[in-house]
Amino acid sequence: MMKKLKLTLAILLCGATSLASADEFAAYKLAATQFRALPQPARAASPKAAPLFAILTDSRRFLESRSFAASDMAKLRDMCGTSANLMAAYMLEGTQAAAAAAGKDQQKANAAVIAQATRNTRVFQDELSQLIPFAARCNAHLVPVTEAFIAKLPPEQVNEPRLAGVRQMQQGVFDTVRGTVAMLAHKEMDEAQLVRITRSVAMSAPAYASILPLAMRDQLKSLASTAQGMVTAEQAKLLAQVVQAMQDRKCNQLCMVSGK
């Protein structure tokens, strides 16, 4: 049904690029903990939530102004997961109540959940249009870090739990692109919000493609290509970048986890 669909300040302010520091990961985790302690769903513009939300969606500080090593994988993955969970909380707000109100008919319950989640994209668009891009970019950075980590492992340590993690990652980035196309189709968000989300996914598409099996790339290429004719010109240009990325036929170590 619904998939769920996760340096120091001085260096940052100087605009330098460096390896990620443990302090930055800790700062993100602390902000998330404080944010969750607020009455939920917390609105991004509320006085108590705003400063924390600004931290939790600061791609420049936590992602784009630094590089990541294989040793950062666990903490980066945790940060990406935290972001994804925050995003999912907004998407799923009220869905349990909607399902319960639909009664025992599973088909009606599923439809009610989807309808509620679709409404949530409109109601919480200010939050989602910032959380989704952060999560999208976080996973784009996580892909090469994961590949570097796996490449360093002895063959006997590339075990089923690790391969299952790769498959989960593949499904996650697949759902990110597919979900973005669905948002464009539903048009629940304002144009500026949709463009912000689609731009982050377009930027991330080459990294996503590198981890996806070719069959999954082809599915996303087809979805994005079809959607180009149903969206605004700016959105279509961004989807064209997704299509181009998914046309790549190279299959690296992670892509081959599920086979060519």
Which of the pair, 22 or 170, is modelled with greater confidence? 170
Backbone phi and psi for residue 249, each to the nearest 5 degrees, phi listed first: -100, -5
User: How many other C-beta atoms are found inside a 10 Å radius of the C-beta of residue 240?
Assistant: 14
Same domain, 120 and 181: no
Q: Is residue 227 part of a domain?
A: yes
**Mean pLDDT (whole number) for 193-219:** 97
pLDDT given for residue 252 in this prediction: 85
Q: Which amino acid is it at 105? A: D
Domain that holds residue 103: 20-127
Same domain, 116 and 192: no
Q: Is residue 77 part of a domain?
A: yes
| pLDDT(228) > 60 | yes
pLDDT given for residue 23 in this prediction: 87
Per-residue CA distances from 260 to 104, 139, 159, 249 (Å):
41, 22, 19, 10
Distance CA 229, CA 236 (A): 7
| pLDDT(95) > 50 | yes
Angle at 115 between CA 238 and CA 217, to 5 degrees: 35
Q: Is residue 197 part of a domain?
A: yes
Q: Is residue 49 part of a domain?
A: yes
Same domain, 173 and 260: yes
Same domain, 96 and 181: no
pLDDT given for residue 9 in this prediction: 26
Same domain, 183 and 115: no
Domain end call among 73, 96, 127:
127
pLDDT given for residue 259 in this prediction: 54
Distance CA 187, CA 106 (A): 27
**Mean pLDDT (whole number) for 89-95:** 96
The SS3 of residue 67 is strand
Same domain, 205 and 117: no
CB contact at 8 A, 76 and 145:
yes
Domain end call among 102, 127, 152:
127
Domain end call among 67, 97, 127:
127
Q: Is residue 142 part of a domain?
A: no
Q: Is residue 225 part of a domain?
A: yes
Same domain, 120 and 217: no
pLDDT digits (tens, 9 = 90+) for 143-153: 999 999 998 99
pLDDT given for residue 17 in this prediction: 38
pLDDT digits (tens, 9 = 90+) for 20-69: 566 889 999 999 999 999 999 999 999 999 999 999 999 999 999 889 99
Q: Is residue 11 part of a domain?
A: no
- Which neighbouring-strand residues pair with 19? 67
Q: What percent of the chain has pLDDT above 70?
A: 91
Same domain, 26 and 97: yes
Q: Is residue 158 part of a domain?
A: no
Overall number of domains in the chain: 2
Same domain, 116 and 181: no
